[in-house]
Structure 1
Amino acid sequence: MKTERLPAIIMILLDKKQISASQLAEMLEVSVRTIYRDINSLGEAGIPVTSFPGVNGGIQIMDNYKIDKQFFTSSDITSLLIALESLSNNVSPLQLNQTFEKIKTLVPTQFLEEIEFKTNQIAIDLTPWTSNQTLQPFLEIIKVAMDQHQLLYFNYEDNQGKKTSRTVEPYRLVLKEISWYLQAYCNEKNDFRTFKVSRMNELTLLSTKFEPQKFQPKPLGKEPFYGKQFTMTTLEITHKIKDQLVDKFGQLNFSPSSNSEKLIVEFPFMEDEFGYNLLLGFGNQCECIEPQHVRTELKRRIEHLLELYQE
């Protein structure tokens, strides 16, 4: 929406000093014509944005321009602070504090108390229940590499246990549920690849610089829910795991079981390792009633597991 693009354009211009209309259009996923209309709107609003033609030209904002404190509403600032707070365990404290202070300078004094009150009403904690001691240092190294366009080297173990060594050009960090992923160009594979940060070892920032290539962000298409065929199963569950199913799969149809302490739910089941491990992970809080072939496979896996502990 236009009302969302205009503040974004101002922030980009204040950060990059000068940028072409085509680059802005690509970043904001709109046409060049739309960008020029937005620039005209900013000019009409009294914001000194100018454009220069030619190879070295582009769009820029006057060097001595500062954002009017009334440009952002208290709701805008509250949203920014809540978003920053959610990253507090993945961004260095010094960097985060500096950002907080800069944003607070945009707030009229009379609104500071109100905004702090609203910010404390919502808390977003993205940290896992158990901490990974190497995660934060790795994220810092990756962010430096992306910022300075430096190559990264690391040893990597995939989900099949295969170990390789990689040298990559880092382009993007992605937080998916509780896991961090690095999207990068792999020099060994001569192609873009996605790497799970928790599977990296001996991560090293190399002194070698690289010239950034054109990078097109992609969703994590190899995640379990993409392109999978679902089998509708009937589960009998306890109330203890109802919220876990809703968190992962949204609102499902629950009905009382003949056992008054349990529930019946129609569940979209994936017949792969992820799906079977998910159901087995619920232990005796979940029983598959049908279809029969899924129930039979679960019993086979349980018997195989039992054999491990009988030796």
Structure 2
Amino acid sequence: MRATRLVSLLLLLQSRDRMTARELADALEVSVRTIYRDVDSLGAAGVPVYGEPGHDGGYRLLDGYRTRLTGLTADEAEALFLTGLPAAAAQLGLTAATTTAQLKLMAALPAELRDRAGRVAGRFHLDLPPWYLGAERTPHLAPIAEATWNQRAVRIRYLRWAEPQEITRAVEPHGLVLKAGNWYLVARAHGQFRTYRISRILDVDVLPDAFERAEGFDLAAHWESYLDHFDRRRHQDTAVLRLSARGLDRLPQLLEPAVVAARKTIAGADPAGWTEVEIPIESVEAAVPELLKFGADVEVVAPEALRAEVVRTVRAMAGNYG
């Protein structure tokens, strides 16, 4: 275990030039004290690693030093092929590059690892779009991806939900996110980060000037924060429901995870097995079709407007059947 960690530490320093003890500890999920001991061990073994003091300091390898400890294990070779996203690469315009990279990797692997990696590619396939929904058309994804990589600002013509629906805006692309088969652009405009659905971009012009990325910007952390804020902003109302035992069991299957995670139990099961819970909702109009999925296993207690709309809808449905 320690030998594996020492190799990982060495490869981190080789790939990132300079890292602090805290950064290394976080990456390897150990204490800073352990990093100090591991660095001493690498130095004792003849690895030219040294520390630089000061605010911008950290550990680094002597310039020009490269380790040869880069061979893949069997599990690593299999995992590498599991990370391949051919559909995503095709949308980004990287089909040829991905194919060539896989061929080069296969050629460089020993025969045994080449066979195992090939079996993984033949037995596992990642299909990102959800059921019953076709992939969105994203004709402008490739130039936006190139601008993101090269830190070029872009001028986009975008179709949004609010009025005015069609807007033109110059933005600085900081990252692309593939969520449930749909691509999103995270970009900065006028000092604020916004998210744009790629399929709703009507036109794009790559501008000649480069821009400086926001210092310390973390795409994954920003996206997680955006999703949390999105759910809280979207679910501004609440509803109180009575659910049968069957309805309570089906709650995770019928409602989205953010709603299930935010539910609150108001009253435990009564003698008939019905439980009263509170859930966040987006609006009365949006909540009705979601609650109709439960059939007779749900009763809306509040708000009255939602209860009345469910009653009206159910009566209209019953009228269709005479």
User: Which range, TM-score by smaller chain?
Assistant: 0.5 to 0.7
Asked if the contact 1:230/1:270 (under 8 Å) is kept, the reply is: yes
Summarize deviations over 1:22-57 as a string: whole Å, max 9, x none.
Answer: 599399668998877666666677877678899999
The TM-score normalised by the length of structure 1 is: 0.66
Distance (whole Å) between structure 2 residues aligned to residue 299 and residue 56 of structure 1: 65
Q: Is the 8 A contact 1:235 1:286 kept in 2?
A: no
Secondary structure (helix, strand or coil) at the match of 1:111 reads: helix
Amino acid at match of 1:233: L
The match for 2:102 is 100
- Name the structure 2 match of 1:222: 229
CA distance in 2, matches of 1:283, 1:197: 32
For residues 1-311 of structure 1, what are the structure 2 equivalents within 5 Å? 7=8, 10=11, 13-14=14-15, 19-22=17-20, 25=23, 59=60, 65=66, 67-68=68-69, 70=71, 72-85=72-85, 87-91=88-92, 92-105=94-107, 107-128=109-130, 129-134=133-138, 137-163=139-165, 164-187=167-190, 190-217=191-218, 218=222, 219-220=225-226, 221-224=228-231, 231=239, 233-234=241-242, 244-245=253-254, 248=257, 269-273=279-283, 277=286, 280=289, 286=295, 289-293=298-302, 296-297=305-306, 299-300=308-309
Counterpart CA distance in 1 for 2:236 and 2:47 is: 50
Per the TM alignment, residue 270 of structure 1 is displaced from its structure 2 partner at its CA by 2.0
Q: C-alpha offsets along residues 273-306 of structure 1, whole Å, 9 cap, x if unaligned? A: 3x853651576664573232358516527859x8
Counterpart of 1:20, as a letter, is R
CA contact (8 A) 2:51 2:57 kept: no
Q: How many residues align?
A: 288
Question: Cα–Cα, structure 1 residues 83 and 184, in superposed 2: closer, same or farther, change >3 Å?
Answer: same
- Cα distance change, pair 60–67 in 1 and its aligned pair in 2 (3 A): same
CA shift for structure 1 position 130: 0.7
SS in 2 for 1:97: helix
User: Aligned partners of 2:178 and 2:37: how far apart in 1?
Assistant: 34
Note the alpha carbon deviations across 1:172-217, whole angstroms, 9 max, x for none: 2223334332222213xx3222333233221221112112331433
CA deviation profile, 1:124-151 (whole Å, cap 9, x unmatched): 21135312222xx433222211221110
The match for 2:320 is none
Contact 2:21–2:58, Cα closer than 8 Å, also in 1? no
CA shift for structure 1 position 20: 3.1
Change in Cα spacing, 1:213 to 1:76, as seen in structure 2 (3 Å) is: same
Offset at residue 228 of structure 1 (A): 6.3
**Secondary structure of 2:302's aligned partner:** helix
* CA-CA distance at 1:160 after TM superposition: 2.5
Quote the Cα distance in structure 2 between the aligned partners of 1:45 and 1:287: 71
RMSD over aligned Cα, in angstroms? 5.0
SS in 2 for 1:146: helix
Structure 2 counterpart of 1:309: none
- Percentage identity across aligned positions? 20
**For the residues of structure 2 that align with 1:105 and 1:300, how far apart are their CA atoms?**
64
Is the Cα–Cα contact under 8 Å of residues 276 and 298 in structure 1 kept in the other structure?
A: no
Q: 1:123: Cα distance to partner? A: 2.7
Residue segments in structure 2 that go unaligned for 5+ positions in a row: 264-268, 317-322
Is the CA contact (8 Å cut-off) linking 1:152 and 1:205 kept in structure 2?
A: yes
TM-score, normalised by the number of residues in structure 2? 0.64
- Residue type of the alignment partner of 2:182: S
- Report SS of the residue matched to 1:292: strand
Q: Provide the rounded CA distance (Å) in 2 between the counterparts of 1:100 and 1:169.
A: 32
The verdict on how the C-alpha distance between 1:171 and 1:121 changes in structure 2, with shifts beyond 3 A counting, is same
Kindly state the Cα deviation for residue 77 of structure 1 after the two structures are TM-superposed.
1.9
User: What secondary structure sits across from 1:222 in the alignment?
Assistant: helix
Pick closer, same or farther for the CA change 1:192–1:34 going to 2, 3 Å: farther
Where 1:156 maps in the other structure, the secondary structure is strand
> What secondary structure does 2:157 align onto?
strand
